[in-house]
Amino acid sequence: MEEYQICTLPNGLRLIHRPTQSAVSYCGFTVNAGTRDEDEAYNGLAHFVEHTLFKGTTHRRASHILNRMEVVGGELNAYTAKEETVVYTIFPGVHLPRAMELLGDLVADSQFPERELAKEREVVADEINLYLDTPTELIYDEFESLLFEGCSLGRNILGSVESLNGMTSAVARRFLTDYYTPGNMVFFFMGATPFARVKALAERYLGGLTRPTKAMNRRLPSPVPAFTRTIGRDTHQSHVIIGARAYDLHDPRRRALLLLNNLLGGPGMNSVLNVSLREKRGYVYTVESSVTSYTDTGVFTIYFGTDHHDTRRCIDLVRRELKRLREQRLSPAKLAAAKRQFIGQIEVSTDNSENVALALGKSFLRYGRFDSLAEIARRVEQITADDLLAVANDLLSEEQLSMLIYE
């Protein structure tokens, strides 16, 4: 079966179609707009628009939108990130016209009625307060706010309770009109419906959307000197993040970094940091490393939580493992094992169809393509031990790493 087909509608909306044999289908919009594109006074606006997109159009009330896919067994969902927003639905494939007509109406004609916004402000305020009470999430955002100080990329996705008050119907509609435009979105579909049928429905339900896209104002953040900050949070254990800026989405070194990250602190119980801090010594319940890439920069982080009296020991162990990665080239056997594990994890992840559909939209938005598992594996196999050594020395030196501690 072919991997995917693409086309561009006359209004400029790009469409990607990936055929499957499943009776369940997935489709939606991936929008090139997120927290990074908000005005400073409206931090959290992209997320608030995503929440309130379902609250009414000219022809539909919120209750109608809520039930439109649910009554046929489907789901309507959305999420917001720093640089994109995704609005999508999962449904029995025979209801594709219903799904596409609804999504097209939401993107083209959401009205954001004030009575609904007033209720949703309370919902989002509760979400913000819950987030503020969760140090394992808060510390990541606070670290990025320091790493990207003075830049919209450093703002958290939810915003603040105070900023919610300025998010009126007019403000929400302006954000929708500026960024939910044909040239700033892709429409993705994954399911058994043939490409020609999906394209025809897209022309019918999505082809009438004609809006110019507001010019992006994404500036690469100025470098920030490495920092160490300790903040008293009165938590029952210390929470620590160590990290630095990393490679953007288009940097070819990113592949080596992803492999190195997986080896160091990926989801496997055999990751270097998990073995060192948890399995051998029992200092932590969770230790992980992660890579987040944006269009023009990125972030590499290591996180762990531990008892207060073990904090310094854990920091020293992390530094020891990073030093080893900078100084010791992986043997052929260890490199082969790391690649085999990484490729296997990617293969297992493709068993989650929802994740694949969402990746389909984001990949087409950012790269104009969707790589097969075979292509991903081929690129991973090209990574050398010298590539990993070079990335480790480029990003993981003690002089470059910053640290944030909650205690």
Q: Which of 256, 392, 262 is nearest to 327 (CA)?
A: 392
What is the overall mean pLDDT for the chain?
A: 96
Taking 70 as the threshold, does the pLDDT of residue 91 lie above it? yes
CATH number of the domain enclosing 244: 3.30.830.10
Give yes or no: residues 185 and 275 share one domain.
Answer: no
Give yes or no: residues 168 and 235 share one domain.
Answer: no
Taking 80 as the threshold, does the pLDDT of residue 116 lie above it? yes
Give yes or no: residues 186 and 249 share one domain.
Answer: no
pLDDT tens-digit series, residues 238-253: 999 999 999 999 999 9
Taking 60 as the threshold, does the pLDDT of residue 1 lie above it? no
Residue 223 falls inside a structural domain: no
The residue out of 177, 207, 237 marking a domain boundary is: 207
* 297-304 mean pLDDT: 98
Beta partners for 186?
A: 14, 30
Give me the pLDDT at residue 2, please: 64
* 375-403 mean pLDDT: 97
* 373-395 mean pLDDT: 97
Give me the pLDDT at residue 222, please: 86
Q: Please give the Cα distance from 180 to 56 (Å, whole number).
A: 16
pLDDT tens-digit series, residues 14-42: 999 999 999 999 999 999 999 999 998 99
Give me the pLDDT at residue 220, please: 84
Verdict on whether the full-model pTM lies above 0.75: yes
Taking 90 as the threshold, does the pLDDT of residue 72 lie above it? yes
Q: Please give the Cα distance from 18 to 28 (Å, whole number).
A: 13
Helical (H) or strand (E) element with 175: helix 169-179
* 120-136 mean pLDDT: 95
* 294-306 mean pLDDT: 97
Give yes or no: residues 167 and 274 share one domain.
Answer: no
Give me the pLDDT at residue 270, please: 97
Specify the range with the lowest mean pLDDT, choosing from 126-135, 218-227, 289-298: 218-227
Question: Which band of pLDDT confidence, cut at 50, 70 and 90, is reported for residue 217?
Answer: confident
Give yes or no: residues 242 and 320 share one domain.
Answer: yes
In the sheet that holds 75-80, the strands lie side by side as: 5-8, 14-19, 185-191, 24-31, 85-92, 75-80
- What's the number of domains the chain is made of? 2
Range of the domain at 168: 5-207
Taking 70 as the threshold, does the pLDDT of residue 289 lie above it? yes
Give yes or no: residues 236 and 142 share one domain.
Answer: no
